[in-house]
Every structure is written in C-alpha cells, then in structure tokens.
Amino acid sequence: MMSRRVFATTNADSGALQALEAYGHRFTEPGRFRIAVREDEIVVARHALEVSDDRSASTQLTFDVGRSPGSQSDCGCSDFDPSRTARTLAVGGVALWWTSGVERKLSISGVALEATTRDQAFDSRELGEGDVFSRVLLRPGQYRLANRLSGAEGRVVVTNPRHAGAPDRKPGIAQSAVRVICGDRGFEPAEIEIERGQGVAWFVVGSTRYRITVELVSEQQAPALTT
C-alpha cells in the first residue's frame, strides 16, 4: 500500500526515482549485465539481466526496486550464472524499473560483462538514447520541466479532470500517457497539458544526455495552454 505522502509528492527527478515514476532502457544487442540500485551513492541492491537472441524471451521486463534493501538478489559476486540468477530479455526489448511506494529516491545503473557489447553502460542519472522516464502527476498546477545537463526547459500544466459529459472525454475512460520526445533540440513538445492522475513519458533520442526534473511552481489552477 502506498504511503499518503506519495500523493503529496510534487517534484520529480529521473536520477532519483520515487513512487509514481519509472525508468526504462532498451537493449539492442545480446549481452549480460550487472544492475546496481543506489540510494544516493550507496548500492542497496543488485540483480542480473541477460539479453538474448532467443525469440521466445520476453520483450519487456519489470523490476520493483522500491522494496527494502536485501530483498533482491545480490549478483555482485564474480561468478555470474545467468541460468540461476538472471532474468532474460529479448534483443530489442525494454527493461523497466519502478518503485512500489516506499519513501526512497533511487537510481539505476547497469554495466555489460562482455567488452564486445556496444551498449556497455547505462544510468538513470544520465539518460541516453533508448531510455525513457515516466511520471504520474497528481496535483493540479504549473510545473517547470528541465534537463539539468543541457539547460533545456519546458512546461507541464496539470488540470482537474474534465467532467464525464465533456465533448472530448468519455465517461470512465482514463486518459493515456502523453509522449514527449527528448532530442538534440530539447523537449518536443516543450509545453503539454494533462489531467490530474495522467502520466507523462519522456523518450530520449539522439546524442544529447538528459537528467529530467519536474518542479511544481504554482499550485493554483493553472491556465490552459493556448494553441
């Protein structure tokens, strides 16, 4: 069960995962990876991942990293036995890390065990091509969106849900997540409007690195974006 404090959380940081957030990485080549989960700079859990050419392997894996330290397999030893410790993902698939609601801020990093793998390392504190960061925003207001690594900025407006009889809203149908591209020119689109409880997914493309932050700047009902 999620803490009530989760619903009061307003700010987000792709390098410090908390409840209502997720980090994903797409793997384009086969290989074996050692994954570290950190709280600040301290490793609190490790696990293993094998990316395989086997077409029967899963195309998506999810990892709940919000559990208490020691509850996940520790694969920090030198003897790596994929058949015993690693979960298997198909080439081209996505691994997704999320938190289950505990009040911690975590980062995810991975390193390849073979030097021949081009995808040698990845880190949620510095998002690269093929990475995705998502967040569900619950409090209406105006949010400042930024890439701490490049200075690019944007804006997110969160409104109260439209009533069920509105022309653009079907009763009982939840709004899908909004997709934002993070490229060499910044956020596209740079300004978005969503409803309270709706998610945003930021997809990184190109060579520019991203550390995405979302900060509430006004809790009042924000004005709708003009088109």
Per-residue pLDDT tens digits for 70-127: 444 444 444 445 455 689 999 999 999 998 765 678 999 999 988 666 678 999 999 9
Q: Higher model confidence: residue 75 or residue 224? A: 224
Residue pointed to by tokens 């509850």: 71
User: Kind of pairing, strands 212-218 and 12-13?
Assistant: antiparallel
Let me know if 158 is exposed, middle or buried by CB neighbors in 10 A (0-12, 13-18, 19+): buried
Looking at per-residue confidence, does 66 or 204 come out higher? 204
For the cut 60, the answer to whether the pLDDT of residue 162 exceeds it is yes
Strands (E) in 125-198, as ranges, are 131-136, 141-147, 153-159, 178-183, 186-188, 191-195
Predicted TM-score of the model (pTM):
0.83
Task: Read off the pLDDT band of 179 (50, 70, 90).
Answer: very high
Confidence at residue 91, expressed as pLDDT on a 0 to 100 scale: 94
